[in-house]
A and B are shown apart, each in its own frame.
Chain A
Amino acid sequence: MPDSDKRRPSPEELLRRVQAEEDFARRGRLKVFLGYESGMGVSYRMLDEGRRRMQRGQDVVVGALQASRDEAVTGLLREMEVLSMLPNGAPDVDAIRRRRPSVCLIDGLASRNAADSRNEHRWQDAEELLDVGISILTAINLQHIAEKQEQVAAILGRQVDEAVPEGFLMRADDIEVVDSPTLDPELSELREIALVLAAEVVDAQLVEYLKRHGLDQTYGTHERILVCITPRSNAALMIDRGRRQADRFHGDLFVVFVEQSALSYADQAMLDKNLDAARQAGAKVEVLQGEDAVDTILQFARREAITQIFVGHSQRAGFWHRLWPNPVERLILESGGIDVRVFPQGETGKQAVR
């Protein structure tokens, strides 16, 4: 959704931008190949890219390998410079730093190093190399991403203890998915999680790119749903539908309340209950402050690149309500490229939450 706002950047903003440019220029580039199960050939894809870069004249070395490797991988390795690893099985970070290639391949990213190593985890070795300006190509499977392990374990019924934090992936300059169809329902679930994770990384990169180039715009690439609740609204239904829609679209859910003065005790209790329910549903919950509820909601919606606003509508509409635009009408008219889903509320609007 190109929604460009041609404002003049402040000095702080310019400084931040220069800083971001410098950090970007100094650090090595990280590229991650992501698969959803072992044996899908992520290592092969990583090595294949390393070889192609070598053929194009880049200085590429292999810094770390996995203990087990198949024939195809072994074949590729014969064409490449492979640095020996330490006797304890950890990558020889000092040797790599001395050798100073422009690109270093690190396989088995989730491996835990032996107790006497400088870094506890191999991904920290990669981080250290990135910091000194060496670019990294690496390969990882979904089950090795710390934040996804609980979910994966629930699906596969087995636990893996080696892990890389998701934040490491999120900082990757490039992520490439190694996708393959499967008829197995469990693997399908893993595949779906891996694809959505990759989409999130790509989204983070897009936001980063726009920031780095000082572009103030957003793209409606995924659904971001904003549920606006009041003490009186049919919040349970709205949150439930918001959660469902966010899940089906693999999107994000926000729930906000615009602070009102002097809520009655009963209303405050009801509101707290609703906000709690929102947190339980995994929504990002915020209490907003502003003179005008519609403006406040729309400001938040634009800042968070919301694609759809859920709002309740009271049926208590008399003559005066029809004469002047009511808040829902204003929200509809002033929300530009955002969809508005209106939920009936009050006695007539009560629906059971299934």
Chain B
Amino acid sequence: MVAAEGKLKVILGYAAGVGKTFRMLEEGQTLKAEGCDVVIGYFEPHGRQDTIAKTEGLETVPRRIIEYRERTFEEMDTPAILVRRPRVCLVDEFPHTNVPGSERAKRWEDVLALLDAGIDVITTMNIQHLESLNDQVREISGVQVRETVPDWVLKRADEIVFVDLTPGALLNRLDRGVVYAPEKAHRAKENFFKEPTLAALREMALRQTAHEVDLRMTPSAPREGEARSDSASSGDERILIHVTDSPSAVGLIRRGRRVANFLRADCFAVAVVPGPRRAALPGDQREALQRHLDFARKLHIDTRVLDAEDAADALVAFAHTNGITQIFLSKPRKPNFRFFGTKQLLAMQVIRAARDIQVTVVADRQTPRT
């Protein structure tokens, strides 16, 4: 008999120190008091006394020591948890990247393995780690977040709960040394821990939680882990994202994915490369294109590479065959002059060719503005 998939609960916050881990442990304690078999799979104490106190009486599966480049790292011991087989496992810091040498690159992948084995997981994350918000987060905070969780993984969560604390109270905690040691607290104030940045992140987390509640309420919305983008979805929109080797493609893919998620639309990513020239593409361009297609696939977007000379015609033809309602393109940089005979903007070519399809030209949020 195959074990039923475990349930996933995500405790969502907007910054370190709002009380996510505390809440996770509190729920663990409540479950244990109810007689449930709970273990701590991973816990990051950050030297916070009140949080550490909450682990009292809870069983911890010891971390695994991994050596990498003559240094030792401690990671969650997923194989040991699978052997221990608790009913519920508490896993701190969902977006964490494992040290090379671990079976899986990301902690969220470890969590998926636990769920597959029928273990329920309660985990913690901050909004700035959600993949589709990466560009917005950088714009707001100036920080490029490297550890991200794809939106489909969060969508897989059965429950999401938002842990709130006002930015004022959080900054207070930071000053009192509750969140970080003084040195780290000082550095934190340079990036996320500014009042308007915290307020903006908090607003984003509230809106995301509202969206997640909305998604789980509508029975017709398929869970993306089960239904890929080629299956019927509840929306009547189908979105096509034009993937290129340009650095702006990354932000475009994120944006297209996010809009598709909210509109519950199917989503495709298409690159157009003339066949004979594909081999002739310079290596770095070919690599960039491949990287962007891989990135799209990681976000659960179906990808295609079309062999054609004219990108606009190929995109529109693909759109017509596949019932696409909206094409997503990158916004071109503004040219200083426009000479007679200058090549038309791709966006305008597509707009002119796509007689019954909407075209969304996405702003380049990739290049930091001065």
Contact = CB atoms under 8 A, between A and B. Distances in A.
A73 interface: no
A9 B169 CA distance: 31
A132 B162 CA distance: 34
A192 B165 CA distance: 18
A192 B217 contact: yes
B351 A337 contact: no
B303 to A, nearest CB: 22
Contact of B165 (A176, A191, A250): A176
A339 B358 contact: no
Given A177-B206, A191-B213, A215 B200 contact: no
A202 interface: yes
B166 A206 contact: no
A179 B209 contact: yes
Interface in A235-281: 241, 244-245, 248-250
Interface in A171-218: 173-181, 185, 188-189, 191-192, 195-196, 198-199, 202-203, 205-206, 209-210, 215
B136 A192 contact: no
Interface in B143-180: 159-166, 168-169
B84 interface: no
B361 A179 contact: no
Which of B195, B204, B214, B264 has the most chain A CB within a 10 Å cutoff? B214
A338 B369 CA distance: 13
B348 interface: yes
Contacts of B195: 209
A148 interface: no
A196 B263 contact: no
Interface in B204-245: 204, 206-207, 209-211, 213-214, 216-217, 236
Contacts of A199: 203, 206-207, 210
Nearest to B201: A221
A354 B237 CA distance: 11
A249 B216 contact: no
Contacts of B331: 332-333, 335, 339-340
A176 B164 contact: yes
A352 to B, nearest CB: 11
A328 B351 contact: yes
Interface stretch (B97-105, B110-118, B276-284, B337-345): B337-345
Contacts of A323: 340
B25 to A, nearest CB: 17
Contacts of B354: 344
A344 B353 CA distance: 10
B362 interface: yes
A256 to B, nearest CB: 19
B264 to A, nearest CB: 8
B239 to A, nearest CB: 11
A31 B162 CA distance: 18
Given A176-B166, A322-B344, A203 B351 contact: no
Given A177-B162, A220-B139, A332 B345 contact: yes
B45 interface: no
Interface string B355-370: 1111111110100010
B347 interface: yes
A349 B325 CA distance: 12
Contacts of A175: 166
Interface in A319-354: 322-326, 328-329, 332-344, 348-349, 351, 354
Given A323-B340, A342-B361, A349-B355, A181 B160 contact: yes
Contacts of B345: 329, 332-333
B338 A188 contact: no
Given A315-B352, A344-B356, A202 B210 contact: no
Given A31-B166, A181-B9, A195-B206, A219 B351 contact: no
Contact of A192 (B203, B210, B352, B357): B210
Contact of B363 (A2, A198, A215, A339): A339
Interface in B290-343: 326, 331-332, 334-335, 338, 340
Contacts of A195: 162, 206-207, 209-210, 213
A154 interface: no
B263 A244 contact: yes
A317 B335 CA distance: 21
Contacts of B347: 329, 332
Contact of A188 (B213, B264, B369): B213
Nearest to B368: A2
Nearest to B352: A317
A335 B334 CA distance: 10
B255 interface: yes
Contacts of A348: 355-356
B202 interface: yes
A222 interface: yes
B199 A332 contact: no
A219 B162 contact: no
A122 interface: no
A313 B351 contact: yes
A108 B362 CA distance: 47
Given A250-B211, A338-B363, A174 B166 contact: yes
B204 to A, nearest CB: 5
A207 B356 CA distance: 39
Nearest to B263: A248
Given A176-B164, A334-B334, A339-B361, A196 B356 contact: no
Interface in A1-21: 1-3
A323 B343 CA distance: 10
Contacts of A196: 206-207, 210
B68 interface: no
B79 interface: no
A325 B348 CA distance: 10
A317 B9 CA distance: 54
Contacts of A2: 139-140, 369
**Cβ-closest 5 pairs across A and B:** A199-B206, A195-B210, A181-B159, A348-B355, A174-B166
20 contacts: A2-B140, A174-B166, A177-B206, A195-B206, A209-B196, A219-B200, A222-B207, A248-B211, A248-B264, A250-B211, A328-B348, A328-B351, A332-B348, A333-B331, A333-B334, A335-B331, A339-B361, A339-B363, A341-B360, A342-B358
Given A215-B196, A332-B345, A344-B351, 16 more contacts: A192-B213, A198-B164, A209-B196, A221-B136, A221-B200, A245-B259, A245-B262, A248-B211, A249-B211, A250-B210, A323-B340, A326-B348, A332-B332, A333-B334, A335-B331, A336-B363
